[in-house]
Structure 1
Amino acid sequence: MLETGQAPPLTSEPSRPVHPLMRRKPVEQLVAEGGQGEGGSLRRSLTMWQLTMISIGATLGTGIFVVLGTATPKAGPAVTISFVIAGLTALFSALSYAELAGSVPVSGSSYSYSYATMGELIAWICGWCLVLEYGVSVAAVAVGWGEYLNELLDGTIGVTIPDAVSAPLGDGGFINLPALVVVLLAMVFLMRGAKESARVNSIMVGVKIVTLLLFIGIGFMGIKAGNYAPLAPLGVTGISAAASTLFFSYIGFDAASTAGEEAKNPKRDLPRAIMLSLLIVTVLYVLVAFVAVGAMPWQDFEGTEAALAQIMTDVSGHTFWGVVLAAGAVVAIASVVFAVLYGQTRILFAMSRDGLVPKVFAKVNPKTGAPRANVVIVSLFCGALAAFIPLGKLADATSIGTLFAFGLVNVAVIILRRTRPDMPRTFKVALFPVTPILGVIACGYMMFSLDTATWIVFGGWMIAGLVFYFLYGIRRSRLATAEK
């Protein structure tokens, strides 16, 4: 097996003219450039456990604390099945991510995988989707964080933050100040560097796992069999629609792949971290959803973003447990904001190093090893979205961008297996090529389950991205410069 960071031998490819939009970046070059930024380099300091915590931190909490209240009215008690469907969809892509993360351990995640297999234009489209996935999901989760903060404040000191400063435009307020605050807090910690950030993240992840286990234990005592009937009042269509919405709650399992240049042993640890995090998250989601719909009629979830805290209070008959749940949720959702924001900055770091976005995003602080300017810019952008855009619109827009990027990862696995069969792989997708093909089909199916408004937003985002690429990226691409 090759040592970490050692590139496999090159294989010759026929020399022929390549259209600028189709130029590919060799895997060896991607790996060789790993960690290098403007004025400094990222530091390899993360263990397998810390990588797993990054993925769990970016995933666990989003759907179960925030989006459950949106998805349950669509599927009824069958929302548990919707979680399983969304999890299986994520699994197909997770397997592909695990193979590519072990083979191409770089910060760019699916953007870099696309660059190595499908060319610069597709890589740009994938990277632009990742900006939507990570950046917008940070904002969406931050909005939900404000809901639980209100629950906590109301239960402890009897104070509720006024709607004017705790709800975005369109939801009865002017600015969601709590959502902005949690993004800025995450920014402060991320500026300290990957190692220190990982420690903070691990603590927060531990708190939210304990919180969810507590909910399962107390909520189980309030289950009423009648709440499960009828199981699927809105039919298969409702289950599918809920699964598409809940896929948002699995966004983040790929976060470890964005840490490819900061992992101590990326070829070994990245695949393990991705698969382990998805397993833990799926089990917890299904158990919590099963208990939640059993303890509270599914109709009562409508418009309730802090459903779990309400269930804890109703089942126990005391506000104390609801407050405990709300406190755990505040920590849990903050960790999602923290970990996803980390992933966004590392993707933009890779895109900047390739010249496709301004070089400020690749500037590394030599003292902390963190891309500080990158962190500040991304945090301010996400904070503004969180402060002014309603949650529901953000969640679905994030899902479609994620599904598109995941579909490209599955295609990248197939292409790299065909073009580089000799390349050392520390993890291989089982049942190849059936599994990645199913991944593409599943992602496509869930994309088309989303509503027209979401597609319009996605189309507008893609048009804006292509305009930026043709006006800026294609001319400043470092790969193009090297070819001249």
Structure 2
Amino acid sequence: MTTETIPSTTDARPGIGLTQGVALYVCAILGAGVLVFPGQSSSLAGPAALLAWAFSALLGLPLAFTFAALASRFPDAGGVATFTEKAFGPIAGGIVGWWYFIAGSVGQTIVPLTAGYYVATALGVEPHWAPAIAAIVLVIAVAANLAGFKVGARVQIALALGVTAILLAVILIALPQIDFTQFTPFAPHGISGIGQATVVLFFAFAGWEAIAHLSAEFRDVRRTLPRATVLTIAIVTVLYLGVAFAVVGTGAYGSRTLDRISLGVIIERGIGLSAAGVVAVAAVVICLGTTNAFVASVSRLGYALARDGWAPARLVRRNRQGALQYSILAVGAIGCAGLLGATLFGWGTDDIVFIPAVLVLATYLLGTVAAARLFTGGLRILALVATVLLLITVPFAGWHLLVPPAIAVLALLAHRIGRGTRKHKPTTE
């Protein structure tokens, strides 16, 4: 396999430098998961959730460098779909593309909804108002992306700085509250609980692949993307493990309601007065940063799927600001559909998260296997290590493993119908 960079097949203009690259990565990974998953994973595994976080962080190393290497060699809006296509052909690439498109779009229900929980708590209103609040967050992110590259870049850098400052503050506030008796019993739910927590945390670490869809828009991608990856690994590891330790050490978990506002409880206890409003602002900043980054990323994947005949051709069109308007709106629409479901049926983040989590797991598996086929030497070994670590978690996904095959069947049917439609449609352009 050559190490030569393959030119992108997109029409995007390179403009992402190191600062914005790190900002995108940080917000893609340190998103809503850092608000909800420390509590949820601790409820599943007890203090042993720290092992699940440590394993996920360890798994993130080969994944991050594998996807950075792939994105540097094959910079394209298709991301892992492009890598998989080069390794196994267009059918595999199209299926993987739809896996991640669905996962990333459904994620835009989960992320804003998390902000909705925190704001609803701060306002003292019932949780059923959370989807309406979440819709506002989603609309702001969609609008920022529709406004074009320059506006989106400034917003992303500001949000990344805000996210980092907020999480550092939570860790520092928690330190005087740490009670080491909270760490016993260490694994009350055994290996099964740790495994289930690890599966949930796949969604928390899903951003490593997300930036691959923006690789064609990096300036000097072979230098900038690896540097952004290294810096982000350091930031993410410190902040994620620090917050998880804070939640376990303070005992700020244990029920569905408490798990959703764990960080708020830590701040409220630490500063001696109600911090609900401060936490709500923090939640909005964190979730808006994540939503903004993923709408940007997943909309590029929608473009690539349309370009390659796997999605409606309209998704390749750009507005006057150069934004992929229909693809951005499609991601937003799927996120809004999930919020409508949350309103009508009472879905919570913990009800929805396993769907995108298992789709991300499937996407990562095929992506790392593709890397093992495309690369040689040390990069191949790195990809194989990532694959083995991923396979360890597969049995804990349970019946949710049926989701990727179901999406694959639907994608193949849609592709076949679309091909038939295009064959019989007269060309007008």
Normalised to the residue count of structure 1, the TM-score between the two structures is 0.81
Following TM superposition, by how much is the alpha carbon of 1:457 offset from its aligned partner in structure 2, in angstroms?
A: 3.5
- Paired with 1:226 and 1:237, the residues of 2 have a C-alpha distance of 23
Report the CA distance shift for 1:148/1:298 in structure 2 as closer, same or farther (over 3 A). closer
Partner of 1:245: 200
Is the Cα–Cα contact under 8 Å of residues 313 and 319 in structure 1 kept in the other structure?
Answer: yes
Change beyond 3 A, Cα 1:338–1:305: same
Matches within 5 A, 1:341-420: 341-365=295-319, 367-389=320-342, 390=347, 391-417=349-375
* Matched residue SS, 1:65: helix
Whole-Å Cα distance in 2 between the matches of residues 247 and 189 of structure 1?
27
Match of 1:119 in 2: 89
Structure-2 residue corresponding to 1:64: 34
Gap runs ≥5 in structure 2: 424-429
- 2:174 pairs with one of 197, 219, 239: 219
| Aligned pair partner of 2:389 in 427, 442, 446 | 442
Please tell me the residue identity of whatever aligns with 2:190: G
Look up the equivalent residue of 2:70 and give its one-letter code. Answer: L
Deviation at 1:215, TM superposition (A): 0.7
Query: What residue is the counterpart of 1:33 in the other structure?
Result: 9
- 1:295 aligned to which of 233, 250, 265: 250
In 2 relative to 1, CA 475–48 (structure 1 residues): closer, same or farther, beyond 3 Å?
A: farther
| % identical aligned pairs | 24
Shift of 1:476: 5.5
Pair 1:316 & 2:257 matched: no
1:77-116 aligned within 5 A = 77-116=47-86
C-alpha contact (below 8 Å) 2:40/2:259 kept by paired residues:
yes
Give 3-state SS (helix, strand or coil) of 2:259's partner. coil
The superposition leaves residues 7-40 of structure 1 with CA deviations (integer Å, 9 ceiling, x where unpaired) of: 95xxxxxxxxxxxxxxxxxx85xx2523x2xxxx
C-alpha distance 297-200 of structure 1, shift in aligned 2 (>3 A): closer
Q: Which has the larger radius of gyration?
A: 1
Report how far residue 475 of structure 1 moved: 7.8
Q: Look up the equivalent residue of 2:33 and give its one-letter code.
A: G
Q: Deviations over 1:37-85 (max 9, x none)?
A: xxxxx22211121011111111103222022222111111121211111
State the match for 1:337 in structure 2: 291
2:185 alignment partner AA: P
With 112-121 and 441-450 compared, the bigger mean Cα shift is at 441-450
Post-superposition shift, 1:294?
Answer: 0.7
Q: Distance in 2 between matches of 1:467 and 1:205?
A: 40
Separation (CA, whole Å) in 1 of partners of 2:40 and 2:233: 22
Give the alignment partner of residue 257 of structure 1, picking from 201, 212, 221.
Answer: 212
Q: Pick from 303, 321, 327: which aligns with 2:281? A: 327
Question: Cα RMSD (Å) of the superposition?
Answer: 2.4
Check if 1:160 corresponds to 2:160: no
- Aligned position for 2:426: none
Number of aligned residues: 418
CA contact under 8 A between 2:368 and 2:387: conserved in structure 1?
Answer: yes
State the AA in 2 paired with 1:379: G
- Asked if residue 468 in structure 1 is aligned to residue 414 in structure 2, the reply is yes
- CA 162–229 in structure 1, closer or farther in 2 if over 3 Å, else same: closer
Amino acid at match of 1:160: G
Q: 2:188 aligns with which of 219, 233, 244?
A: 233
Tell me by how many angstroms 1:109 deviates: 0.8
Q: Using the alignment, how far apart are the partners of 1:196 and 1:209 within structure 2?
A: 21
1:284 to 1:246, Cα distance in 2 relative to 1, 3 A: same
Report how far residue 339 of structure 1 moved: 0.7
Q: Given the superposition, is the C-alpha separation of residues 91 and 188 from structure 1 closer, same or farther in structure 2, using an over 3 Å criterion?
A: same
- The separation in 2 between residues aligned to 1:123 and 1:130, in whole angstroms, is 11
Q: Distance in 2 between matches of 1:357 and 1:385?
A: 20
1:179 paired residue among 127, 134, 150? 134
Deviation at 1:329, TM superposition (A): 1.8
Report deviation, 1:252.
1.2
> Which amino acid counterpart does residue 377 of structure 1 have in structure 2?
A
5+ residue gaps, structure 1: 9-26, 37-41, 167-175, 419-429, 478-484
Q: Look up the match of 1:11.
A: none
Name the one with the larger helix percent: 2
In structure 2, how many angstroms separate the alpha carbons of the residues matched to 1:291 and 1:384? 34
Q: CA deviation at 1:303?
A: 5.1
Instruction: Note the C-alpha offset of 1:354.
Output: 1.6
Q: Residue 304 of structure 1: SS of its match in structure 2?
A: helix
Query: Which amino acid is 2:389 matched to?
Result: A
CA contact (8 A) 1:105 1:267 kept: no
Secondary structure in 2 matching 1:46:
coil
- Give me the whole-angstrom Cα distance separating, in 2, the residues matched to 1:398 and 1:52: 24
Say whether the 8 Å CA contact 2:252–2:266 is kept in structure 1: no
- TM norm structure 2: 0.91
For 1:344-390, what per-residue CA distance to the aligned partner results, in whole angstroms no more than 9, with x for missing partners? 1001111111222111111122x312111221222122112133142
**Residue 98 of structure 1 contacts residue 272 of structure 1 at CA under 8 Å; is this kept in 2?**
no
